[in-house]
Amino acid sequence: MTSLQPLLNLFWHPAEGRPRLIWRLAGLGALSFFLLPLFQAAAALGTAILSPSPSFSLDNPLLITALTLAAGLALTAAVVLAALFLDRRPIRDLGLHLSRAWWTDLGLGLALGAGLMAAAFAAELALGWITIEGLFSSPPGGPSFPAGLASSALFYLAVGFYEEFLTRGYLVKNLSEGLAGKALGPQGAIILAWVLTSGFFGVLHAANPNATPFATLNIALAGLLLGAGYLFTGELAVPIGLHISWNFFQGPVFGFPVSGASFLGSAVFDIQQGGPSLWTGGPFGPEGGLIGTLTILVGLSIITLWKGKHGLHLGLTRYQPRLPQPDPDSMS
């Protein structure tokens, strides 16, 4: 067995009693690869059965919503399974310690996302780059305005949760633990994990409709914004709240495209976009232009001043294994 130990150590971390970082990430990838098509196939089949439209197609908004929600459930399930059986940790240690402070930070994150997007909208309106053509609009043949708005809220709530649970909760946490060696130290590991996952977040959106290299760079910068609250608190409250309200106010409230996808559902403001694409982002929306860059930098500054006074949350680099359940026979 001794002769095999160096080989086993390539796969297994004996001090932590779990697979090494690269294999935990590979395991998460395998789980996602397996679960995504299963969940999305079930969603497509269910939508095809329940859809009242005789001309059901891949661009059906109901199908797009169902596939996105199915992807969210699949990735959430993959993270939960990876955390329990590969990481060997409680789910709450990925940033879900649901205390009163957690819920307060969630509310403040929601307010920050709404405020930042309102500022971008107000700036474009003041510069004459937006024309408001109507209020409280719904697509022809679609649901009523309140129903459409509620549906959008549910959609962006799901997206905001599962993208943060995966990207910040699982990936930043695991990378921070795995990279925290003598060369980087705890703070360097956290910063590198933040940068790497933000770049990954940008790449995930590179294939979105109307994406440009600048838009992809801006989305990576938005990843830094979303991850900042996690770096300073070790909790996902601020990132989840900010992500949900940023998307919701961008599309259903102010009528902008959301990360390249034209918003066709119910919207408080029905707008016509004008102005220079370099600034507005054109068909990609604010995240594809300099307005988005400035908004993200303002948000980063606010979060740093608000949550960064105590520095980085070094607990992100420390592994706390799930405690085994006591054996009832040994306690008798």
With 70 as the cut, is the pLDDT of residue 330 above it? no
With 50 as the cut, is the pLDDT of residue 331 above it? no
Confidence band (pLDDT; 50, 70, 90) for 326? very low
With 60 as the cut, is the pLDDT of residue 324 above it? no
pTM: 0.90
Q: In this structure, what token pair is assigned to residue 36?
A: 């995504």
Confidence band (pLDDT; 50, 70, 90) for 3? low
Residue with tokens 């403040």: 108
Closest CA to 260 of 252, 269, 251: 251
Cα–Cα distance measured from residue 167 to residue 197, given in angstroms and rounded to the nearest whole number = 6
Number of other residues whose CB lies within 10 A of the CB of residue 234: 21
Q: Give residue 273's Cα distance to chain centre.
A: 26
- Percentage, residues of the chain above pLDDT 70: 91
- Cite the beta strand spans of 68-150 per DSSP E: 130-137
With 70 as the cut, is the pLDDT of residue 117 above it? yes
- pLDDT digits over 169-221, tens only? 999 999 999 998 778 899 999 999 999 999 999 998 998 889 999 999 999 99
Confidence band (pLDDT; 50, 70, 90) for 325? very low
With 70 as the cut, is the pLDDT of residue 1 above it? no
Number of other residues whose CB lies within 10 A of the CB of residue 309: 8
**Rounded (10°) CA dihedral 111, 117, 119, 124:** -170
